[in-house]
A and B are shown apart, each in its own frame.
Chain A
Amino acid sequence: MLLAALAVAGGLAAARADEPRAAPAPLSSTAETVYAAARPRLLQIRTIVDAAGRQYEIGSGFLVSDDGLAITNYHVVSQYALEPQTYRLDYARADGSKGKLDLLAIDVANDLAVVRIDTKGGGFFRFDPRAETGGPQKGERLFSMGNPLDLGFTIVEGTYNGPVERIYNERLHFSGAINPGMSGGPTVTADGAVAGINVARQLGGELVSFLVPARFAEALLARAEAQAAPPKDFVAEVGRQFTQWQAGLYGSLDAGGFRPITLGDYEAPESRAAWFSCWGRTNAGQVPKPRATIDVSTCNSDTQLFIANDLNTGFVRLTHVYVKSDSLNEFQFAAFLSQQVRPGFGGRSRKWQTPERCHEDFLAVAASGPRPPLRSVWCARAYRAFPGLYDAMLTAVTQDSGTEALVSQLNMHGVGYDTAVALGRRFLEAVTWTK
């Protein structure tokens, strides 16, 4: 990513003679060969503040055709795509030559973009033919290239670790140092074929980096070559892709359905979808001893969608908080519960979202089976730039006891309104009790 640079632990482990590839060769010489071939095909892609003529953001890219088409990340060119009147794009090559860039196509979900440079020739990268059939072998050496932190083009060796588990937008796990500025650069096999595109790294991890699988870049490239002209309004294009993407996401969430988990005397819904990571939390060990116990289950979807530097959306969160009074009376318990319930979104970006609007009431779910009465709050806000898309949050607090309660919350970012209402309804219907 282009974001803040953190200190990253030094280079790769020393080369060992028993390298796992079929034709053993000294590592340094492989990287040397790969880089020598790749050097003229690498680009540094810069977003320039038009008025000041200074670079605002930097990323990397690579040529994929003889007539100047190149691949980079959507997030490298997003600022220009969303505000073309304020920014422009240009590129620099390893030999120091510079020029202008045109944005041809974007793929927001896979964080990819196709651009065209104003010169032709100089060679181009080919995609790894194994991309369609499962990609490289786990443990295979890959070489990632780009221009980290504007320090000049570099090549980094690392290990391929297969697709990332529990993630909605497919990503490859690459154990190598990808730094800010390398986004959009290629990660290639020893014979120079593109296996993936540098996209992100895990903050707080060591050498945990992510690649976009090459087949998505191939598909986008084919689309860009087929289209008569690039979209005139990329904001509308982002909105269109965002809408399409969330329809798929919430469709599969809906199709997967909910499964119950038990919290105290209640049963609460959790998604069956594979791309949730769930964590638990309790206040049991706190000092001083809490006067009510809290058990929390939070499931976050790994579905974040980068739209702009100040807008990440497209995630779902299911939170269940089971609270039981130990020595609190009903009033004190209600006050304590109020602290556990946050039915609103809190902060918002005035640029991207409207103020939230909420509806609240006491609710009896009519569906069959034993169900506690609920106090429910629905809050929603709209995206200004993307008609038909909203953030919605449904919170329910059980009202059957004065000293015990379940707070359940479904938080959906970047969702169609009807989809959100339908999911909210199913969510509420799945809150039951086992008494």
Chain B
Amino acid sequence: MSADEAIWVEVLGRHRGVAMRHRCAGRVVRIGRAYSNDVVLDDPYVAPEHLHIVRDETGALVAEDLGSANGLMADRGSVRARRLVLADDTVFRIGHTQLRVRTAGHAVAPERVFGAAVRWWPALAAAGVAMLAVGAAMLWLADYGEFRPANYVVPLLAMAVLVLVWSAVWSVVSRIFAGQARFEANLLIGLAAAVAFEAWYELSEVGAFGLSWGALAAYRYVGFWCILALAAIAHLQQISPGRLAAKAGLIGGLLAIAIAVQVLVQHDPRTGLEESYVRRLMPPAFRLSRVENEDAFFAAVAKLQGELDRDRSEAP
């Protein structure tokens, strides 16, 4: 590596995209606000002569603070340093400006060939059709009245609009924080979540009836919140991959709060929202549990008396 090799000083944007690149040659590269510098920054928090970049005795690039008031901030801009050895991916900050220095030898990704890009539309179309088909089937199987197209079109349209709005909101968030909307990816996540919602709804109905397990229907919303949380994590991964644990922790916390609030509301005797039996019947073929005999049924019924007598003593 020659001591005179030209280097690239990159001024980074807020989301690590490169805002400006300066090709600099010479033994010393000066950076500051004054026009005497090789790289001139208009950041008012940068000193006129803020720092210079030189090579040390081993040939490595080193940034040195020239005595500025705000200093040279290393390690993602959180540690103040007088002197900082620079690698290809070292990001440092002076004033409010993020900088990175790369040499001509920095390896770049190979050229991407046309046509290898991800083709979203087949997947999106499949997910969309699945969502509408499952939704239409659910509506049809519960429709015992006169056939009216509006009974199908309106709810399906509402669901489609909801998924589109949800995906669009995440795209806007993604555009703001990652610089790219990635609408197709967000839409695919939204559609997958919608299909999961529908599937869980039917599954919980069948399970509640088949197992005589009222809690499955009564606490169905726990599953809905979990699907929503998983979708939110997937959307966040789209915005910027990595730090999965932190995202999962945050969303998990919100999920726990949402479920806790809903459980509290449901169990408040004043709201009377607690469902004490399974409302929806299914064809007899969907019975999953054993048929009880009479004695066992009435033994369980007799046990309710004790619970009712305890309820009696509670405040109304």
Residue ranges of A at the interface with B (Cβ–Cβ < 8 Å): 288, 291-292, 328-339, 341, 343-344, 348, 350-351, 354-367, 373, 375-384, 387, 390, 397, 399-402, 417, 421, 424-425, 428-429
Q: Is the CB of B301 within 8 A of A360?
A: no
A residues less than 8 Å from B103 (CB atoms): none
Q: How far is the CB of A363 from chain B (nearest CB, A)?
A: 5
**Cα distance, A328 to B293, chains bound together (Å):** 31
The answer to whether A379 touches B277, judged by C-beta atoms less than 8 angstroms apart, is yes
Task: For residue B152, give the distance in angstroms from its CB to the closest CB of chain A.
Answer: 14
* Residues A361 and B144 in contact in the complex (CB < 8 Å), given A354-B311, A355-B274, A382-B308: no
Q: Contact partner of B311 among A335, A338, A355, CB < 8 A?
A: A355
Report if B141 contacts A (CB, 8 A). Answer: yes
- Which of these binds chain A: B6-14, B65-73, B279-287? B279-287
Question: Given contacts A366-B293, A382-B309, is CB(A344)–CB(B277) below 8 Å?
Answer: yes
CB-CB under 8 A from B145, the residues of chain A are: 291
Chain A residues near B284 (CB-CB < 8 A)? 373, 399-402
A378/B146 in contact, CB under 8 A:
no
Interfacial chain B residues near A329, Cβ < 8 Å: 141
Least Cβ distance of A398 to chain B in Å?
9
- In the complex, how many angstroms separate the beta carbon of B268 from the nearest chain A beta carbon? 11
Q: Is the CB of A362 within 8 A of B269?
A: no
Decide if B292 is an interface residue (CB 8 Å cutoff): yes
Say yes or no for B5: interface residue by CB 8 A criterion.
no
Which residues of the partner chain A approach B141 to less than 8 Å between Cβ atoms?
329, 331-332, 335
Q: Is the CB of B144 within 8 A of A381?
A: no
A364 touches B292 (CB 8 A): yes
A357–B293 Cα distance when bound, in Å, is: 21
DSSP class of A's interface residues: helix, strand, loop or mixed? mixed
Measured in the bound complex, the distance between the Cα atoms of B281 and A328 in whole Å is: 14
Chosen A-B contacts, 16 in total, with CB atoms closer than 8 Å, are: A288-B146, A291-B145, A330-B283, A331-B283, A332-B140, A332-B142, A333-B144, A350-B316, A357-B276, A359-B297, A360-B214, A366-B294, A402-B285, A417-B308, A421-B298, A425-B294
Which residues of B are found within 8 Å of A361, using beta-carbon distances?
212, 289, 292, 296-297, 300
A239–B27 CA distance with the chains assembled, in angstroms: 103
Q: Is B305 an interface residue (CB 8 A)?
A: yes
CA distance A362 to B284 in the complex (A): 10
Q: Which 8 A-B pairs have the closest CB atoms?
A: A336-B144, A330-B283, A331-B141, A354-B311, A358-B276, A382-B308, A399-B284, A335-B142
Q: Is there contact, CB below 8 Å, between A375 and B281? A: yes
Whether A338 contacts B285 by the Cβ 8 Å rule is no
For residue B57, CB closer than 8 A to chain A, the reply is: no
Whether B272 sits at the interface, judged by CB under 8 Å, is yes
Is the beta-carbon distance between B294 and A365 smaller than 8 angstroms? yes
Pair B279/A359 contact, Cβ less than 8 Å:
no
A421 to B312, CA, bound (A): 19
B4 at the interface (CB under 8 A from A): no
Q: B270's closest neighbor in chain A, by CB?
A: A350
- Can you name 17 extra interface pairs (CB under 8 A) apart from A359-B304, A363-B292, A378-B301? A332-B142, A334-B282, A335-B144, A350-B270, A350-B316, A355-B276, A357-B307, A359-B297, A363-B291, A365-B294, A382-B309, A387-B309, A399-B287, A402-B284, A417-B302, A421-B298, A429-B294
Q: How far is the CA of A174 from the CA of B143 in the complex (A)?
A: 51
- In the complex, A387→B282 CA distance in Å? 38
Residues in A with CB closer than 8 Å to B301 are 359, 378, 380, 421, 424
Query: Is B278 an interface residue, CB under 8 A from the partner?
Result: yes
Q: CA–CA, A331 to B214, complex, Å?
A: 19
Which residues of B sit under 8 angstroms from A335, Cβ to Cβ?
A: 141-144, 280-281
Query: In the complex, are the beta carbons of A387 and B312 less than 8 A apart?
Result: yes
* Interface pair A356/B293, CB less than 8 Å apart: no
Q: How far is the CA of A322 from the CA of B128 in the complex (A)?
A: 41
- Whether the pair B144, A292 counts as a contact (CB closer than 8 A) is yes
With a cutoff of 8 Å between Cβ atoms, the chain B residues found around residue A387 in the complex are 309, 312
- Given B212, B280, B300, B308, which contacts A338 in the complex, CB threshold below 8 Å? B280
In Å, the complex CA distance between A296 and B142 comes to: 22
